Homo-oligomer: A and B are copies of this chain.
């Protein structure tokens, strides 16, 4: 009800504030018998963490995860998997200047209105540090998906006004992590790096777009009415900090197409029913049809600027907010493992939900 739990069978309950003791979560409903790949968890956390390159925030978070339960002798036991990442890099007083002020386009004001009493330090619960729990749980979901051959891969397709023009089928997605901005195309990646560096000089920030592709999905995942597979993916993505838009398949461009252009005609291929095009994005009527699922997610620019901004304090008085601290110019590259994680959680959940569909 307070919305810190995600999923219906595979359920992540997340907790923790940015500058509290720890961030963590409990993954319940994860079936017994899945081999646990501890290195994958850390690898995904490392992809999310700040300080990976000079392009991103220098805040040092070792982000070592501790698994507390639900795993025994290398396999899941079917009981809740609890995990914890201690917050380390916390200097008391760092955020005192924010106590009474509402930072523009942050959640300070709405938390103040909703709860009355809040932990203001570093955004508290509204900080993107909360996504640490998503990444850990998502990596566990990836282990389940691995067992059924499903792969989830995301990459950056735009930063600011630099757009990757190629479609995903033209890219070598295995090269994504070679790019400091996680764009698999070398030329586009270089332009994005350039843009970030220039923007940093002005104390300004950038948004961007991530594209996610899910391959080898069994047919039949997703529920037909309210819990359509792409509706749950949309909610998952829109629940990530800073996300403003979501498209599945043809997306907004589909709205201007004709039916005769957009319809994905069925064909038989090697004894399997496939579609000749895939404007549906691998989902029809809310249910996976076995083709690639692909979608895009739009991120607004980072709200914390290295510039002065006018705002108001809790008394409604105008104040000037100084730009200081350690912050990313653009978080989109670091959001790639978060998109992967949320997509994996949705797919794993619907995979198990579908077990109850027929007798």
Contact = CB atoms under 8 A, between A and B. Distances in A.
Interface string A1-28: 1111110110101111100111011101
B109 A268 contact: no
A300 interface: yes
Nearest to A261: B301
Given A117-B32, A117-B77, A300-B257, A66 B358 contact: no
A225 B298 contact: no
A298 B301 CA distance: 23
A195 B233 CA distance: 33
Contacts of A75: 117
B4 A225 contact: yes
B117 A263 contact: no
A112 B53 CA distance: 48
Given A238-B248, A255-B208, A271-B316, A9 B1 contact: yes
Q: How many subunits of this chain does the assembly comprise?
A: 4
Interface in A214-238: 219-220, 222-228, 230-238
A311 B273 CA distance: 10
A359 to B, nearest CB: 4
Contacts of A206: 258-259
Say which size band chain A's interface belongs to: 35 or more
Contact of A230 (B82, B219, B238, B252): B238
Which of A20, A67, A255 has most chain B Cβ within 10 Å? A255
A56 B143 CA distance: 43
A232 B235 CA distance: 6
B199 A258 contact: yes
A273 to B, nearest CB: 6
B147 A359 contact: yes
B317 A224 contact: no
Contact of A15 (B79, B102, B267): B79
Interface string A248-291: 11111011111111111111100101010001110011111100
Given A158-B256, A207-B256, A353-B1, A289 B11 contact: no
A279 B9 CA distance: 32
A37 interface: no
Interface stretch (A44-52, A57-65, A118-126, A177-185): A118-126
Q: Which interface residue of A79, A82, A265, A309 has the most chain B CB atoms within 10 A? A: A79
Given A2-B223, A125-B225, A285-B126, A80 B15 contact: yes
B8 A26 contact: no
A67 B119 CA distance: 15
A175 to B, nearest CB: 22
A227 to B, nearest CB: 3
A16 to B, nearest CB: 5
A130 B225 contact: yes
Contacts of A260: 202, 204-205, 305, 307
Contacts of A3: 223-228
Contact of A32 (B118, B207, B248): B118
A149 interface: no
- Which 10 A-B residue pairs are closest in the complex by CB-CB distance? A107-B285, A3-B227, A3-B223, A205-B259, A235-B235, A110-B287, A32-B115, A114-B220, A259-B301, A15-B82
Given A33-B115, A113-B287, 9 more contacts: A4-B226, A31-B358, A72-B117, A104-B265, A161-B256, A259-B302, A260-B305, A261-B301, A271-B316
